[in-house]
Structure 1
Amino acid sequence: MTEMQATEIADPEATKREPDPGRSLWSDAWHDLIRNPLFIIPMLVVLAVVSMAIAPQLWTSVNPHDCNIINSKQGPSDGHPFGFNVYGCDMYSQVIYGARPDVIIAVVCTLGTTVLGVLFGTVGAYFGGWVDVVISRLTDIFFGLPFILAGLIFLAIVGSHSVWAISILLIAFGWPQMTRIVRGSVLEAKSRDYIEATRILGAKHPRIIFRHILPNAIQPAIVIATIALGGYVSAEATLTYLGVGLQQPTISWGVLISGGQEWAVSGHPHLLIYPCLFLVATVLSFILLGDAFRDALDPKLR
């Protein structure tokens, strides 16, 4: 009996936990993810929300702007499962169409913060010196600014409450966190022996960064970016609830929550419950996806 056979008899699950040496880290991570219910279920929720944003007609045939004040604040009924809002608009169609601005803000902000964070974090950590000092002090400045106050001032100066104005604001306050995380990962990757060996062999800086450092330092950025998607959905709702985010006639979950909160306590809870449920489910799904990615990409957690 070989040693491997003895191990299989002693612990039948041992071979299942061992990563396949023929697979890369990414393929091995994907192999684990597709077998993880905490990845599959949130992913289905996220795909449903994205489909609402891209093609809301797949979910409802009712025009969200087709309102009748006679139906104002009526509860769920046949053909209108979420009831009507204050203006007599169908709440179900409003919730479905409200996914689009939130998804756009989440995707734009995540892409923006990830690109800036990876760029500044990599440049600062790799080259060090005064470049790293300038970038680090700049991130300290943004960390020291109160988000809500800065948001009020910025949106007042810009004079816009559009999706793009809010996205710029969130990117401006989101990139420092990503920069810090990427900087730490690049510093760790940069200190490894094979990087020094590559440099001695004459490899140029771009090749070292893109071929050897980033592939080994990008995993934390992917995890944080996934969680940040949900964070930006929540941030839009927070800004809108405070009156500085999206405004009518734009339809978003934040707008629906802001407009329904004063009526929810006076006998019309459906105006608040349904948009809140969609918001919470979406944010929670992104957080669970981030946790699943973290567990799959970190060999120490296998």
Structure 2
Amino acid sequence: MPSNNLSTPGHFVADLSDTPIAAIDTIDESEKARSSWSDAWDSMRVRPMFWIATALILVILLVSLFPGLFSHTAPNSGCLLPNGNGGPEAGHPFGFTRQGCDIYSRVIFGTQASVTVGLLATLLVTLFGAIVGALAGYYGGAFDALVSRFGDIFFAIPTILGAIVLMSVLPDRTSITVALVLAIFAWPQIARIMRGAVIAARSSDYVMASTALGVSKLQILVRHVVPNAIAPVIVVATTSLGTFIVAEATLSFLGIGLPPSVMSWGNDISQARTSIQTAPMVLFYPAAALSITVLSFLMLGDVVRDALDPQARARR
């Protein structure tokens, strides 16, 4: 036995080079550190629901951006009263409305208005609510109290009810107008979620370390706190997009959303009320398009929530 080994009767201590301990303790510095977003991606990409929802959403977005690729028939042209409530035929797979217009073409071109309102409303609510909530949660004090009380006022008003009242007095009803009205009454939810996440993150060690290094509060908020607090906001924004599409359809159904001249699923559903007993399929197709779109975003939001919040998945 080597002389540098400690030995006792029947025992010996091997050299460190002869053991795998050195290899076990070795750190591979070439491997990049994994972030929570990388872990979330690994969690999402193995779930079939994620790919199904993503595929549906991509198709819906493609239809809304380029409706002419999916329908060569202008929705308002060729409307013949003799075709009213007619069934499917060559070139018109969904049949005709009461006015003799092609249902398939209206469903395709109606995607643009409905999805536009949902995307704009979600973008406005997320940006405004996240910024206000982050500032209120990080700086606190009088600004936090003011934002909280101001948000409580809007939070107490149901979004649809507030939108009905406001839209009924607005002379101009466009996709941008509807999105702005919905955002006015929906931002407090995002602001509250962002505020709570920022309050939880501002007491973290990396925030205290940055403060000790002399980094300004605004830089700490933008570079460190917000990226670590934005996950719950992304989850809510994903599911809210479908909610805003439904809200636009509800307002248009009631006659105070987009004007009848604008094709949207809500307007088509509203016009189909008079034919629901004699030709229920006139109502079925725009309602099915609306349901599939909302379901797609809800499915995606469910997957994103589980990926960004493992505790939610464990509680199931």
Q: How far apart are residue 160 of structure 1 and its match?
A: 2.2
1:179 aligns with one of 191, 199, 202: 191
Equivalent positions of 1:203-218 (< 5 A) are 203-218=215-230
Instruction: Report the AA paired with residue 257 of structure 2.
Output: G
Q: Which has the higher helix share?
A: 1
Work out which of the residue numbers 137, 159, 171 in structure 1 matches 2:171: 159
> Does residue 281 of structure 2 align to residue 281 of structure 1?
no
Corresponding residue number in structure 1 for 2:80: 68
Structure 1 stretches of 4+ moved >4 Å: none
For structure 2, which runs of at least 5 residues remain unmatched after alignment? Answer: 1-19, 21-30
Q: State the secondary structure of the residue aligned to 2:169.
A: helix
2:46 maps to which of 35, 41, 51? 35
C-alpha spacing 1:175/1:294, structure 2 compared with 1 (3 Å): same
2:36 matches 1:25: yes
1:82 maps to which residue? Answer: 94
Contact 2:155 2:186 in 1 (8 A): no
Q: Could you tell me how far 1:30 is from its partner in structure 2?
A: 1.6
Residue-pair matches, total: 284
Q: Which residue of 2 aligns with 1:109?
A: 121
The reply to whether residue 221 of structure 1 matches residue 233 of structure 2 is yes
Deviations 1:241-271 (A, max 9, x none): 122111211100101111102311x220111
Q: Structure 1 residue 32: deviation in Å?
A: 2.3
Distance 2:106 2:43 in 1: 37
Question: Which residue of structure 2 aligns with residue 150 of structure 1?
Answer: 162
Aligned Cα RMSD in Å?
Answer: 1.8
- Tell me, in whole angstroms, the C-alpha distance in 2 between the residues paired with 1:231 and 1:21: 38
The one-letter code matched in structure 2 to 1:79 is: G
Taking structure 2 as the reference length, what is the TM-score of the superposition?
A: 0.86
User: Which stretch of structure 1 is more off in the superposition, 22-31 or 203-212?
Assistant: 22-31
Instruction: Give 1:254's match in structure 2, choosing from 256, 266, 281.
Output: 266
Q: TM-score, normalised by structure 1?
A: 0.90
Summarize the Cα distance change of 1:114–1:121 in structure 2 as closer, same or farther, 3 Å threshold. Answer: same
1:271 is paired with a residue whose SS is helix
- Please tell me whether residue 237 in structure 1 is matched to residue 237 in structure 2: no
Whether the aligned pair in 1 keeps the contact of 2:159 and 2:182 (CA below 8 Å) is no
Point out where structure 1 has 5 or more consecutive residues left out of the alignment.
Answer: 3-19
Q: 2:279 & 2:139 partners in 1: Cα distance?
A: 59
- Rg: which structure is higher? 2
Identify the range of structure 1 (164-173 vs 24-33) with the bigger mean alpha-carbon deviation: 24-33
Q: Distance between the aligned counterparts of 1:68 and 1:298, measured in 2?
A: 54
Q: Whole-Å Cα distance in 1 between the matches of residues 229 and 160 of structure 2?
A: 32
Residue 243 of structure 1 aligns to a residue whose secondary structure is: coil
Give the letter for the 1:38 counterpart: M
